[in-house]
Structure 1
Amino acid sequence: MKGASGRTGRPKHAPRRARFAQRRADEHGSPITFGEPGRSPKSRKEPVHVPHVVIVGGGFGGLYAAKALRNAPVRITLLDRKNHHLFQPLLYQVATAGLNPAEIAAPIRRVLRDQRNVQVLLAEVTGIDPDERTISSTAGTFGYDFLILATGASHSYFGHDDWEALAPGLKSLEDALEIRRRVLLAFEKAECCAPTPEERAAWLTFVIVGGGPTGVELAGTLAEVAHHTVANDFRVIDPTAARIVLLEGIDRVLPTYSELLSARAKRQLERLGVEVRTNAKVTGIDPEGVSIGEERLAAKTVLWAAGVRASPLGQWLGAPLDRAGRVKVTPDLSVPGHPEVFVIGDLAFLEQDGRPVPGLAPAAIQEARHTARNILRTMKGEPRRPFRYVDKGSLATIGRNAAVADLGRVELSGFVAWVAWILIHVFFLIGFRNRFLVLFEWAFSYLTYERAARLITGAPPSKVVLPEPASRR
């Protein structure tokens, strides 16, 4: 039946408009009352509440949690103070001029642009009120139904924060670029600004503090840079005479691996020309070198890979923390007393079989997916399930054709472990472009010993002193 306007009483496209309006409301966080035009307000449906999930951190934990909720009836706000997701396991490649920053990072917005229930905000969190279920940030204050904290970890200098400016760590692209600058500048300083053999030796001495995977990878790659990549690029100095020193405070490198793999890693490092010193605890760092007890080691370049501490966000929850500042979570990864707040990745502390779940990318990914499933169970009124980490193994590369792999019952070292390391790391990179570029750069470097990103940023050497050329053997 037609009205005076000649149109039917029910617009043809009203249902589609209602669906579109509801989707827009879900994306922007405002509830909407919807119904058919012409109906009285009493006949309209009540506002539909869409659960709001706030995720802090765009690393492995935060990104995979958002992806796992792709088809869930929730709206997601992801906050990060960086606009990119970073593949941290390959940061040392940027620090040693093997890769460019864009090859191991991807804009978070690009990764999630097809996921309509996610809003990405470039913001830094300034406060959390778990009782009021609000989180404050530089982009405003948000209420949440569920909160996922996945902010990772930073450097720990064991109470010597003044060492940070003298020995940079490796947790961000900025850290990697600073290390690259210092390493490449050291060779330049030795060439132009070291009038005595003692000064030249100090510039050509590189000390890495910490014998974990990051320290081992840095030491092995720096040895390759000195002995191959820049070996013929200078006229005064002999880069192959560079001294790479790896210091570890306990009795072996790679302490999380078996003693057999640790011993093999040490031998492989020594074959590359790295001086490995265990039971060597650093007691002081200054611009001229490091102190190991009463011993003095002159070195102009010191790199830190010895310890980490959790993000300070965990302190705002009022939950128990471990010595590294990690939040002691319940078996379902939630905060005690606040089941709507989840902590995952490097910020979480959870024991399993008498050992803490490791702060590795695979663990963060598993925790993210498990948290997403528990959120859906909670929304359905179903009981949550405890998290169980499935250890699929760990790998560490040492240098060309050298790596170690602990795959549970199988332990590998040498070329086979190195190939496995390459394949697994390329697989976990975000985006086909990055995978292709990284593989190409590695193949080129393997065939030529070249490293394509040898750029120094910052002020050039201000003092130019040309010493006599060193004799080459």
Structure 2
Amino acid sequence: MSANALPHVVIVGGGFAGLWATRALARDRVRITLIDRRNHHLFQPLLYQVATAGLSAPDIAAPLRHILRGQRNVEVRLGEVTAIDADARTVALAGDDGADDSRIGYDYLLLASGATHAYFGNDAWAEHAPGLKSLDDALGIRRRVLMAFERAEAADDPAERAAWLDFAVVGGGPTGVELAGTLAEIARHTLKDEFRHIDPARARVRLIEAGPRVLASFPPELSDNARLKLEKLGVEVVTGHAVETIDGDGYVLAGERVPARTVLWAAGVAASPLGALLDVPRDRAGRVRVEADLGVPGRPEVLVAGDLASIEQDGRPVPGVAPAAKQMGAHAARAIRARLAGRPAPPFRYRDMGNLATIGRMAAVVDLHGFKLKGLLAWWFWLWVHVLFLIGFRNRLLVLINWAWAYWSYQRHARIILDDHDDESGDAAAP
């Protein structure tokens, strides 16, 4: 059978769900086209480390073509899907000018394009409070954070200097906690003795959570421990209040105007806009409501996985975390295999691996189904898990070296300020 006669599986998204599905189909008699807007797979759980100068971009990302170079049944296409014709079973890709450039037919389609930022109807805030979902986001945040200290150093007006040294992180989930803790470490340790007109340790780092506690998905005991550790690092933790507005000069919280030039967003996510291209039910976050086997209602040849999929298990939604995305990707491959064999696919069952979050140097919290860890032991466990799941030996080695260096020196090797149009290479971030 010629390659073109094989069933064609189109997978949109090279994140955890898309990549795990692609790999799971490596031995099947199908031809796969993997489409992504970017040429790399990103290990998102460590993205905040790039944003805070602990790691450089190549440490947590790898080219999709390199990852899949040995898988002969897959072709990688760089592009953005702009339309889906479910009746004709085709997807349209955008050209450089934004117009439809080509159409790709499929026998089976897996949508795994992930999530984007959600500002709860206040999209104008995005310009002033960037979120963290991509390497571009991380490099932009890193530039914003490092430039804040530079602008404070150059400011003559005390009020302006204070505004540049005021940092706010909105959202008390794992990303917000990790960002706030690391910002406090940078201000109090990494930048010590490097400036002549400011004391970086006097910077205010504030973590704002609208709910009653940070890390709400963790048991209260670990949530309280995380708050104490953050406060010990110098983070001001504010709970029970939501920001009312954000602009270029600061934000309003509990009716009080706070001058702050650096506000980072970690409060909400929304599904990729790709789900809107299907005429199927979606939830309030824009995620596609899928069947038990991850298929789209009325379209068994179309499946959705990862952060774009909305599915409940035991009365609760499956969380938008990396382990769930990996498991969904692998299950989507099984579902496609079952359809090819003419048999029904089994229902997806998420296996909860527990929750982990790091707070700062030698501080983390871990919840493994009631088995709780905190402090140094939890930090070592968190480090081991994240290094273990990085793709590629080179990435694991670099991350270990960089973390060992940061542990002993408090230094962050990637403190290079790039212009908005610059790309980061491994060499550019040398100590």
**TM-score, normalization by structure 1:** 0.86
Partner of 1:88: 44
Distance 2:126 2:320 in 1: 22
Distance 1:239 1:231 in 2: 7
Given candidates 276, 282, 290, the residue that maps to 1:315 is 276
One-letter amino acid matched to 1:243 = R
Distance 1:296 1:231 in 2: 29
Gaps (5+ residues) in structure 1? 1-21, 30-48, 460-473
Establish whether residue 218 from structure 1 lines up as the match of residue 179 from structure 2.
yes
Establish whether residue 266 from structure 1 lines up as the match of residue 227 from structure 2.
yes
Distance 1:99 1:401 in 2: 17
Given candidates 128, 131, 137, the residue that maps to 1:166 is 128
Query: How many percent of aligned residue pairs carry the same amino acid?
Result: 61
One-letter amino acid matched to 1:281 = A
User: 1:215 offset after TM fit, Å?
Assistant: 0.5
User: 1:380 offset after TM fit, Å?
Assistant: 1.4
User: 1:430 offset after TM fit, Å?
Assistant: 0.8
Distance 1:196 1:377 in 2: 68
Partner of 2:7: 51
Partner of 2:423: none
Establish whether residue 343 from structure 1 lines up as the match of residue 299 from structure 2.
no
Partner SS, residue 128 of structure 1: strand
Given candidates 416, 431, 436, the residue that maps to 2:377 is 416
User: 1:300 offset after TM fit, Å?
Assistant: 0.9
Aligned pair count? 414
Partner of 2:56: 100
Given candidates 163, 178, 187, the residue that maps to 1:202 is 163
Partner of 1:79: 35
How big is each residue's C-alpha offset from its partner over 1:85-133, in whole Å with a ceiling of 9 and x where there is no partner? 0111111000100000011000000000110000000011010011221
Partner SS, residue 243 of structure 2: coil
Partner SS, residue 396 of structure 1: strand
| RMSD after superposition | 1.0
Distance 1:197 1:204 in 2: 11
User: 1:409 offset after TM fit, Å?
Assistant: 2.4
Establish whether residue 294 from structure 1 lines up as the match of residue 255 from structure 2.
yes
Establish whether residue 329 from structure 1 lines up as the match of residue 304 from structure 2.
no
Instruction: State the 4+ residue runs in structure 1 displaced beyond 6 angstroms.
Output: none
User: 1:382 offset after TM fit, Å?
Assistant: 2.1
Partner SS, residue 92 of structure 2: strand
Given candidates 384, 393, 407, the residue that maps to 2:354 is 393
Partner of 1:447: 408
How big is each residue's C-alpha offset from its partner over 1:33-62, in whole Å with a ceiling of 9 and x where there is no partner? xxxxxxxxxxxxxxxx31100000000010
Partner of 1:183: 145
Establish whether residue 145 from structure 1 lines up as the match of residue 107 from structure 2.
yes
Say which structure is richer in strand. 2
Partner SS, residue 399 of structure 2: helix
How big is each residue's C-alpha offset from its partner over 1:268-311, in whole Å with a ceiling of 9 and x where there is no partner? 10011000000121111111111013111111111111100000
Distance 1:354 1:261 in 2: 24
How big is each residue's C-alpha offset from its partner over 1:387-421, in whole Å with a ceiling of 9 and x where there is no partner? 00000111010001111111002011111111111
Question: Radius of gyration: which is bigger?
Answer: 1
Partner of 2:387: 426
Distance 2:92 2:9 in 1: 14
Partner SS, residue 455 of structure 1: coil
**TM-score, normalization by structure 2:** 0.95
One-letter amino acid matched to 2:123 = D
Partner of 2:236: 275
Distance 1:293 1:439 in 2: 42
User: 1:367 offset after TM fit, Å?
Assistant: 0.8
Distance 1:274 1:212 in 2: 15
Distance 1:458 1:362 in 2: 34
Distance 1:360 1:457 in 2: 30
One-letter amino acid matched to 1:68 = A
User: 1:255 offset after TM fit, Å?
Assistant: 1.1
Distance 2:334 2:340 in 1: 10
User: 1:201 offset after TM fit, Å?
Assistant: 1.2
Partner of 1:119: 75
Distance 1:326 1:332 in 2: 16
Gaps (5+ residues) in structure 2? 95-100, 421-431
Partner of 1:361: 322
